[in-house]
DNA sequence: CCTAACTTACTTAGTGCTCGGTAAGTGAGT
DNA sequence: ACTCACTTACCGAGCACTAAGTAAGTTAGG
């Protein structure tokens, strides 16, 4: 009768029906992420996703309601990953955060799909009535706030030069990292993303400390 | 008999049939630019463009052959504008070029559509087999080369700090300006693009001169 | 200078295909 | 008995694009 009991009937693996459905949704979200990254939201059809997931189109819609619903599920799932990274960064001393940037770039390079997903979806979400618009606006505002806070706490610790405006500098830092990523995605042979981010991290350190 | 004679038959304006067709294509390209900027290449149908241009779909295809042909025409047309800007920049003394950046931002702000067009189309061209891919790759390579050359000539004039890698710094500069533009397009209320670029121009001057 | 032949900027009509989404089941699991 | 993760069958709308014609503009020949 309690809501906490687990069936755990003897045969088969320990997955309940609910759990299996959740896993299926996760799997579909992963597949949709790849396709959205490659061809964009608009360039991907439900049939594409369904075929790769080994399910029918109505089967897909049973889980996500509409195509936009699938997009939102993808974005939310991917945000959990970024959030984990943000927590990782925030767990460090402010002074160490700069040094973590190249590691971030290295990780992104090895999972180019995730980076591409965000670049593509952000561009498709510029128009105010795009399905992911509000989400990306909120995401960038939050990101700027986190970076600005980091700068502000470095200021309070007396580690920075005078004349730094945290919000403006935050936008600039995020812009540089995003922009480098776009150039690298477009032309990986011409742009070494890890070297570029390492160089930028050094530039940024000089800029922030005023040395 | 010569190929240089102009008919100039008495009635109506002095536009020949060829000239009128060229003007019509220009007009269509302008309309397509707006729609591509708003909804992307994939999100825009030939019917959308045709309706706004007051022409039928086959009428459109008569001029551009295929939808991809229309996209290439749009990109080429828009490149002429950027090229004009690049020439303007290259006409200046290297030292003045930095100071021209905020003016560039101001111009872009007042014609947000053009900025949006490039941001959207670049994102849709990340995949190697996208219709505009090769073009954007070439464009970014050329852009990096121009900026890198500017840095190099400043180096030769002894105006810069030691340890500058022109190619890497060029990618970084372009990345920052692109990224700021994306954030501004997504959330114009939260990001003041002109102020951000002005601030970045100052940062960049300190960075390049090592002061 | 007139006219017949040709070119070109379109239009109307229609092609097959793909799109996102719905209605109505079905069958296994709870 | 009921839930729910699906399936089959289907829908109208929209897609890029084609075939075939038309009417106006341009050119060449007599």
Reported residue count of chain A is 211
B17-209: which CATH topology? Answer: Tetracycline Repressor; domain 2 (1.10.357)
Q: Give, in order, the Cα–Cα distances in Å from B150 to each of A205, B90, B96.
A: 24, 8, 11
Q: List, for residues B25-50, the tens digit of each pLDDT value.
A: 999 999 999 999 999 999 999 999 99
Taking residue A104's Cβ as centre, other Cβ atoms within 10 Å add up to 17
Name the closest residue on chain A to residue B38, using Cα atoms: A127
Q: What local confidence, expressed as pLDDT, does residue A13 receive?
A: 58
CA pair distance A146, A154, nearest whole angstrom: 13
Lowest-confidence region among A72-76, A87-91, A180-184, B126-130:
A87-91
Residue A14 binned pLDDT confidence (cut-offs 50, 70, 90): low
Contacts of B94 (CB under 8 A, 6+ apart): B150, B153, B154, B157, B159
| Tokens coding A15 | 């997955």
- For the cut 60, the answer to whether the pLDDT of residue B131 exceeds it is yes
pLDDT mean over A154-169: 95
Residue B3 or residue B160, greater confidence = B160
Determine the pLDDT at residue A95.
79
Residue A2: pLDDT above 70? Answer: no
Residue A15, pLDDT > 70, answer yes
What local confidence, expressed as pLDDT, does residue A85 receive?
85
* Average pLDDT of chain A, as a whole number: 91
**Could you count the other beta carbons within 10 Å of the beta carbon of residue B106?**
13
Residue A9 has pLDDT above 70, yes or no: no
Question: Which nucleotides of chain D does any protein CB come within 7 A of?
Answer: 4-10, 14-20, 25-27
- A102-116, A127-141, A156-170: segment of lowest average pLDDT: A102-116
Strand D closer than 7 A to residue B61 Cβ = yes
Of the candidate CATH numbers 1.10.490, 3.90.980, 1.10.357, 1.10.3470, the domain formed by A92-211 belongs to: 1.10.357
- pLDDT at position A11 is 45
CB A183 within 8 A of CB A191: yes
Average pLDDT, chain B: 92
Q: What is the average per-residue pLDDT within B113-137? A: 95
A59, A95, A164, B97, B111 from B200: Cα distances, Å: 50, 22, 11, 13, 21
pLDDT of A168 above 90: yes
Distance B25 CA to D26 C1' (A): 20
Contact: B180, A203; criterion CB under 8 Å: no
Tell me which of B45, B136, B151, B175 to substitute to probe the interface with A (most A C-beta atoms closer than 10 Å). B175
Q: What are phi and psi of A205, to 5 degrees?
A: -60, -45
Percentage of residues in chain A with pLDDT exceeding 70? 93
Residue B211 has pLDDT above 70, yes or no: yes
pLDDT, tens digit, 9 for 90 and up, residues A19-57: 899 999 999 999 999 999 999 999 999 999 999 999 999
Predicted pLDDT at A38: 94
Assigned architecture for domain A10-74: Orthogonal Bundle (1.10)
Residue B186 Cα distances to A121, A136, B34, B43, B61, angstroms: 12, 8, 17, 18, 33
HEC string of B86-100 equals HHHHHCCCHHHHHHH
Q: Which residue is nearest to nucleotide D3 (CA to C1')?
A: A17
φ/ψ of residue A12, rounded to 5: 70, 180
Tens of pLDDT, residues B76-111: 999 998 889 889 989 998 878 999 999 989 999 998
Share of chain B above pLDDT 70, in %: 93
Mean pLDDT of A85-111: 89
Domain boundaries of chain A, sorted by first residue: 10-74, 92-211
Give me the pLDDT at residue A76, please.
95
A25-39, A170-184, B7-21, B69-83: least confidently modelled range: B7-21
CB < 7 A from strand C, the residues are A 7, 9, 16-17, 44-48, 57-58, 61, 66-68; B 17-18, 20-21, 24, 55-59, 62-63
Q: Are B186 and A144 in contact (CB < 8 Å)?
A: no
Residue A118: list chain B partners with CB under 8 A.
Answer: none
Long-range contacts of A70-74 (CB under 8 A, 24+ apart): A70/A28, A70/A29, A70/A32, A70/A46, A71/A32, A71/A36, A71/A41, A71/A121, A71/A131, A71/A132, A72/A131, A72/A132, A72/A135, A73/A25, A73/A29, A73/A32, A74/A29, A74/A32, A74/A33, A74/A36, A74/A117
pLDDT of B167-200, one tens digit each? 999 999 999 999 999 999 999 999 999 999 999 9
Kindly tell me if the per-residue pLDDT of B161 is higher than 60. Answer: yes
Determine the Cα–Cα distance for residues B209 and A39; give it in Å rounded to an integer. 42
Q: What mean pLDDT is predicted for residues A183-200?
A: 97
**pLDDT for the residue A5:** 42
Compute the nearest-CA separation of B181 from chain A (Å).
8
Q: Which of these ranges, A8-22, A33-47, A181-195, has the smallest mean pLDDT?
A: A8-22
> Which pLDDT value is given to residue B7?
44
CB burial readout A60-76, b (16+ within 10 A) else e: beebbeebeebbebbbe
Asked if pLDDT for residue A4 goes beyond 50, the answer is: no
> How confident is the model at residue B14, as a pLDDT?
59
B90 contact to strand D (CB, 7 A limit)? no
pLDDT given for residue A207 in this prediction: 96
pLDDT over 70 (residue A8): no
């Amino acid at each position: 009768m309690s809501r906490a009991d687990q069936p755990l009937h003897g045969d088969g693996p320990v997955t309940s029906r609910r759990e299996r459905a959740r896993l299926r949704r996760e799997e579909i979200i992963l597949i949709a992420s790849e396709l959205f990254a490659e061809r964009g939201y608009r360039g991907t059809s439900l049939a594409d996703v369904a075929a790769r997931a080994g399910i029918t189109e109505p089967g897909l819609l049973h889980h996500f309601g509409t195509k936009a619903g699938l997009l939102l599920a993808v974005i939310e799932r991917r945000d959990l990953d970024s959030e984990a990274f943000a927590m990782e960064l925030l767990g460090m001393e402010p002074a160490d955060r700069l040094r973590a940037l190249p590691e971030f770039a290295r990780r992104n390079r090895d999972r180019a799909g995730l980076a591409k997903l965000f670049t593509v979806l952000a561009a498709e979400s510029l128009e105010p009535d795009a399905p992911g618009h509000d989400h990306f606006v909120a995401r960038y505002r939050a990101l700027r706030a986190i970076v600005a806070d980091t700068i502000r706490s470095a200021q309070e610790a007396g580690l920075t030069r005078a004349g730094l405006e945290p919000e403006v500098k935050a936008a600039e830092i995020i812009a540089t990292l995003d922009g480098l990523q776009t150039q690298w995605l477009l032309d990986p042979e011409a742009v070494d993303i890890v070297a570029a981010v390492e160089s930028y991290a050094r530039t940024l350190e000089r800029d922030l400390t005023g040395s």
